[in-house]
Structure 1
Amino acid sequence: MCTSFVIHADQTIIGMNFDISQRPIKLALIDEQFIIFQKNEGRFLPAFGCTKSGIFMNLLSVAPNEAGIYRRGKNCVHMMKLFSDVLAEKVELSNLQKYLDETKIVNVPNYSVHSMITGKKKTFIVEPGRPLIERTKKVAVLTNFTFSTLLDADYKNVKGTGSERYKRAYEEISKNEDSFSLESGFKVLQQTAQYQGDFPTQLSIIYIPDEETVYFTVRRDFKKVFSFSFLTKQIEGKSGFQTDHVFKLSKQGVLLSELEQQNGVSTT
């Protein structure tokens, strides 16, 4: 399922709740890209990620549409390829519209996703089979209903899968829009986290590009916050721990289960 948001204020703050059934989840650093992988049918597949330069992209479940179903073709590019090229900056945000004008974005076989792609100044929504959407507003939220259906709708009136999380996120962001902070971001994620059902929140992250730092909590424990710095390439316990924990991150990655084993005892 999942909920993501971005607010472009004095500084850009990006948030994401990764909601998925229990499975191995891995964090890895690959060529200055912080990527979250989830294991499915024996393979680790990318779910979302961000770069040292401030680019963020995710892959959120959405109902399929005929034009976006996987197919081969000279100008067809599937979402996993787009994900890889955007984070590697082979496709720059400044050229995204031109790139998509020349290609047809489709899903991979047996999946249907859409994506929030954001940098320090701009945010785009990509939905296979539909036109690129550039968000000119200060705030953008993405959950699991077709985003293009609400372009002219008030957020209070949206419908579909994830619409209640969408509304809660917007309401929480609006309370602190003029002074939005790391703490505000985690409050949004806490308000939209899923604690029950088939898709509980496994990972909640806040990325602040100006700090080149990702802050995150594991499996809905918002009292314990880890941080990952692109400068040190390390994961550390930021708050809520009695002892220090440091993990050097590489392309081999670290599992959430490994972080949980070192989770320590909350001091707050």
Structure 2
Amino acid sequence: METNDIVKTNDPNISLYKELSKDFIKKEDTGKVKSFFIFLKNKIQTIDDNSTEANIESLLKSIFEELSYSVEQQKGGQIDGVESRVDILLFECDKERINFNKKSKEAKKNNEPIPTEDILLIVEVKRPSFNFEAKDKVKEAEDQLYRYLNQYQKHYGILSNGKVWRLYDKSKVLYGEKRYIEFDFSKVNKEESYKEQDWFSFFNYLIKKERFSKRSNVIEVEKEKIAKEKEVIKKTLRDILYEKPDDSIVFK
């Protein structure tokens, strides 16, 4: 299965992420990656027309736990005076999840802001029938996820109906367009075996806990590389458009 058959994105930095994922997979234990591929494929194949949103939430919880996240399934709350419910919060370990719950109760009791520094990712779950091609429905779901990201002051979130996973980076909103990288696992053949597929290495890299860990610098490295690429592009444009690029005010 080709990467382009499964991956869909509006993120201009996808080539960089793919290169980083290749470096990542070289360092990973092949047996571990293969086991996760089989685990994920088998889990997703259990989804059918009778699956409910609660079923999908439970399924996603098991997948994130397989990736060593500590998972918190949230109860109802309010955002801007409107009843809401964050489906899943992901933490680095149980200690930080328990600490978050303890601090949250104290904050609510004292009418103080909820401490969010330990949250790694926010996940919004949809039922299997949710159509990622229905623009109005997707916009509504994205807006909901971004309200949660704003409330918890986080950049990274996931929107999923179990088969389709969209990974969002709120720091990259450009002209109102929300940047995402989507993986459609419904396009993975049931008989497909692990062959170090590029798309799976890419997914594995983007979703791994180590990428979001407060103890790692993975995302900082990404940002540095993106900034360097932008500078190279600017310089190239200056060189093309102007004989004396340093005299131009366009790119200053």
Q: Which structure has more helix as a fraction of its residues?
A: 2
Q: Which structure has more strand as a fraction of its residues?
A: 1
TM class by shorter chain equals 0.3 to 0.5
* TM-score (norm: length of structure 2): 0.32
